Chains A and B, each alone.
Chain A
Amino acid sequence: MALLSSPFAKKTNSVTQMMLWVVGATLPGLFVLMYFFGVGVLVNLVIACTTALVAEALILKLRNRPVMPILWDGSAFVTAWLLALALPPLLPWWMTVLGTAFAIVFAKHVYGGLGNNIFNPAMVGYVLLLISFPLEMTTWLPPQSLAENPVGAIEAVSIIFTGAASNETTIDMLKQGVDGYTMATPLDHIKTELAQGYRIPEAETAPIIKGLSGAGWQWVNLAFLAGGLVLMAKKVIGWQIPIAVLLGMGLIALPLFFANSDYYLFPMFHGFAGATMLGAFFIATDPVTASTTAKGRWIFGIGIGAITVLIRTFGGYPDAIAFAVLLMNMAVPMIDYYTKPRTYGHADKKRKASEGVK
């Protein structure tokens, strides 16, 4: 028998490697997004990543930290990457810059940099933009197959940087579907229809609602699910949080659906609509801002899923992954405190109490 000695872990799982895996695993989702919504998302990615690297470099300089090693660990890059994937494809460029810079400077470095931030930086940037520019942030294009005017690459770039396409098409025209009606995202559509007194079965007759959760969106979510499963298999992320998020959604959505399917969506719809899969697998699993204990991860994930469905159903916003993640980020210190595992060799409370009775 060969004698083995430590260290046994030969491969170093550095921050950079993990970040690369995360970026790589989003690629299927990115391609599907581009297929259905044009190249806008790619332009957003470039803008956001450039901004993040510049902002990170500047603030590291300002804080007298070594710039290069921290810059190349890729954490700022991933923050920008995830934020850009969540943004509408034709968002004006300066909004992307603003959101990314705010995420890096205020959500990350004001708290002390990577590892010290309480809130998920990408989601802070997203929520900043969402509450500041609700109109622009909810302007999604219809899936290109349903669009009256499919958006080309040049038009997309032109709209992002100047607000209008070269051939006089405006974003309002691009938003129109083949039947001439302005299209929203499936979640937005359902919400608006319900507010106008329609019921779910009636709302679901629109061309944008197709399959599991709407044209385009189900494939986007399936692609992110696939990427997320790869991350799980590679053990870059734990399996508990994503499963808990989906479980949390089901816990709220299923009883509501059975209570009244005229007004509450089928749980599967929630699971494959909006940013669900991106949120569950890539955003909620951020190692810095998620709960770190075994039990805590379940509570954290279930909380995110439950809050998301509650806000989607009863709140003012069509999607709520970002709000749910930030709210649960706030609860993480308390969750960690109450779910601390028993240290080996120390008696737990129950046993101590019973021994005390003796």
Chain B
Amino acid sequence: MSDLDNKTIVKNGLWDNNPALVQLLGLCPLLAVSNTFINGLGLGLATLLVLAGSNASVSLVRNFIPKDIRIPIFVMMIASFVTNIGLLMNAFTYDLYLTLGIFIPLIVTNCAIIGRAEAFASKNRFLPSLLDGVMQGLGFTAVLCTLGALREMIGQGTLFAGAEQLLGSWATSLEISFYLTDAKFLFAILPPGAFVALGVLIAVKNIIDSRAAEKTKQRTNNQNISGDVITNE
């Protein structure tokens, strides 16, 4: 475990072991909040900060925690980070705080975070844990943003709507309008659209992976080299 090099950690977080596309963790906020790009980005960044903070601090205290009660302690540490993030968002991005509503405190229950604390941070040193937290968070944020952008474009024909909620009033001009309509495509904005869109994203990832695997297979066959294959954790 602890001899994972940094490159693998980065690759795991962003692609090979992406929390949303591969582990399928934290789907509740993922599906509920990804109706616009900015909502996705907001919740993604909040989750990223919590994940980095909890991973880093769990790895610092990992040797002092009795094994039997480690989960409650992890949850409390995560909860304190979430409380901090919630207060910060309340102070600096109030509109976004209102839009995301219950899903900010619910970051505590995001399985991706407790999962990383348990599976990685409790077994690794400080720096790799921090890196893992940031990368897993980035992977989660990337999926949230992609889903949000897709659903926003299909559902209401805009992109970056409400950017001022996160970036300040100058960002109002960022909003792009693709089509104007009285009849919004509600399906894409409602939860069923999120499920379908996530399914499509996972399918696309699987296609890319299987194409890549075929290519490597061909290459190894051609060169007739049998090397050690790096496996997932």
- Which A residues have a C-beta under 8 Å from some C-beta of B? 106, 110, 128, 131-136
Contact = CB atoms under 8 A, between A and B. Distances in A.
The 3 closest A-B pairs by CB, nearest first: A132-B187, A132-B186, A133-B183
Nearest to B185: A132
- Counting chain B residues whose Cβ lies within 8 A of the other chain, the interface size class is under 10
A131 B183 contact: no
A106 B190 contact: no
Interface SS, A side: helix
Contacts of A128: 187
Interface of B: 183, 185-188, 190, 192, 196, 199
Given A131-B187, A133-B183, 16 more contacts: A106-B196, A110-B199, A128-B187, A131-B186, A131-B190, A131-B192, A132-B183, A132-B185, A132-B186, A132-B187, A132-B188, A133-B185, A133-B186, A134-B186, A135-B183, A136-B183
Nearest to B196: A106
A135 B188 CA distance: 16
A133 B187 CA distance: 8
Contacts of A135: 183
Contacts of A136: 183
17 contacts: A106-B196, A110-B199, A128-B187, A131-B186, A131-B187, A131-B190, A131-B192, A132-B183, A132-B185, A132-B187, A132-B188, A133-B183, A133-B185, A133-B186, A134-B186, A135-B183, A136-B183
Contacts of A106: 196
Contacts of A131: 186-187, 190, 192
Nearest to A98: B185
A136 B196 CA distance: 23
Contacts of A134: 186
| B185, B187, B190, B196 pick with most chain A CB within 10 angstroms | B187
A136 B183 CA distance: 8
Contacts of B186: 131-134
Contacts of A133: 183, 185-186
Contacts of B183: 132-133, 135-136
A136 B199 CA distance: 28
A314 B192 CA distance: 23
A106 B197 CA distance: 11
A128 B186 CA distance: 9
A131 B196 CA distance: 15
A135 B185 CA distance: 12
A135 B187 CA distance: 14
A133 to B, nearest CB: 5
A133 B196 CA distance: 18
Nearest to B155: A132
